[in-house]
Structure 1
Amino acid sequence: MDIEAPPTERTRVTPDGERRGLIFIHTGDGKGKSTAAFGLALRAHGRGKPVKIYQFMKVPSARFGEHRLFEQLGVPIEGLGDGFSWKSRDLAHSAELAREGWARAEATLRAGEHFLVVLDEIMYPLRYGWVPLQPVLHALRERPPHVHVVLTGRNAPLELIDMADTVTEMQLVKHHYAAGVPAQRGIED
């Protein structure tokens, strides 16, 4: 590791634009996409802002750690799917659930009642063709100007990346699965 001197001066750039709802994308093969989105949701909720979380691949009855905590905090989190595709017994039904879920999420975006809307794992139904990309792009463009949106999942479409204000690509450097360490509650859920 190279040692470096801590900065002693700060270069400050003063933004001159107006505040508005932002679009965030967390994508890539690395771990942390949903975790980052949930951190932003907690930050907004901590400031008293209304937040709504949709999870496109989780079942409505999911009780992972985030569900338990958000429930305690009064932050609505809604599973819209029936699990990841390799767990699905009926992919046509999975696609139908994704389309129905998108209709609910779109209505929330357009209503403007939430400061932040999280569309967790939405890249999967987009990539599988279960949810068409164009209606998602239209809803993001046409949402009320104060609504912030976070979209997560691997392989975000270029059209979404171009539209977004902030895009973070999580890069896999090393993962414990490769060393044979299984998933652990409180870390992977």
Structure 2
Amino acid sequence: MKLLIATRNKDKIIEIREILKDLDLEIISAFDIPGMPDVIEDRDTIKGNAIKKAEECAALSGLLTLADDTGLFVDALDGAPGVYAARYAGENCSYKDNRDKMLKEMNGKDNRVAQFRTVVAFASPTGIITTAEGKVDGEITTKEIGTGGFGYDAIFKAVETGKTFGEMTQTEKEKISHRGRAFRNILPKVLEYISS
């Protein structure tokens, strides 16, 4: 049985495939579906975007689909960039552009508390089945630390480890990351649906 991961983000695909590696399913991405359009993320919440992507991709592909959306919520920035984390520095910006903007915005701020949140939505071709969330608390560093990961990983220090995601191995990150937690939280629901 195939399970579609509704993303074209190569970094996310690698991370999600690793999280789901023990499933007895063929994990495919939006790259594997010819003609699969990009879903416009125009909802004002990460849950709304995840649901929209899951529903649209499941309906178009005819496959069971998992879709996620992630936000970075920074206290000193009144929750920004939030749902706009991927395009914080503007449309078509790079990961580095986003990190640079964040470091500039946080320059001189004492309160560096932040939280990553991911919502994963699970849909069949007939509609949404369920959602799950994962969170990790941390802080924004004053400079980039570490070269691993992607996105904001080099400037987000997790409270649980005292290390940035950029300093962690993929295995270390998976254990505590927002995305890893969200996907682990939804797995029992996916397996229950498939076995019913």
Q: State the TM-score, normalizing by the size of structure 1.
A: 0.27
More strand by share: 2
Specify which structure has the bigger relative contact order, considering alpha-carbon pairs within 8 angstroms and separated by 6 or more residues. Answer: 1
Larger Rg: 1
